Amino acid sequence: MPRPQSSSPYTIGKLAALTQISADTLRYYEREHLLQPRGKSASGYRLYDEEAARRVQFIRHAQECGFTLAEIRELLTLRGRDSACCDDVRRVAIERKLQLESKIRSMKTMSTALDRLIAACSRDGVPVEACPILIGLEQAQPRR
């Protein structure tokens, strides 16, 4: 992230340019209580400081790691809490990993089911009512 040249407050446009996050997204973060402006200018514009820029980068990186907004809120709270320790953050990260692994497993199951359907399709230009994929989907038994 480019370092700011001064500590003068940023408008939302400046913060957006600095962090490469759109102003709409920054307003969304505000609605989600992830980001608060330091104050407002005399004309009513939101004003942010360097901490806001660091916070936006933190949110973006956390999203890239798959954290939900609720988890990011928790991480930000932990980050600002003196009594929090590394173990608290680690727990959130491990729980996210468990959730991701669980999703990966579900998606692999779905992918395998699709493999079976695709393999059943002979691509002989059969009419749609004889399409093995559609028939396969219709006949599939619910998983128990």
Partner 1 sequence: MPVTVELLHIPGCVRCTGSREALREAAQAVAGDELIWRDLDVIEHMDYAVTLGVLTLPAVAINGHLVFSSLPTPDQLRRALSDPPKHGP
Choices 46-54, 74-82, 91-99, 120-128 (CB under 8 A): range interacting with partner 1? 91-99
Rule CB under 8 A: say whether 82 interacts with partner 1: no
Q: How many angstroms separate the CA atoms of 115 and 124, rounded?
A: 18
Interface with partner 1 (CB under 8 A), residue total 11
Measured from the CB atom, the residue of 24 and 101 that comes closer to partner 1 is 101
CA distance 17 to 45: 16
Instruction: Give the CA distances from residue 92 to residues 23, 26, 56, 76, 81, in Å, rounded to whole numbers and listed in that order.
Output: 28, 24, 19, 11, 15
Amino acid at 95: E
Of 51-59, 75-83, 96-104, 120-128, the segment contacting partner 1 by CB under 8 A is 96-104
Output 23 or 78, the one with its CB closest to partner 1. 78
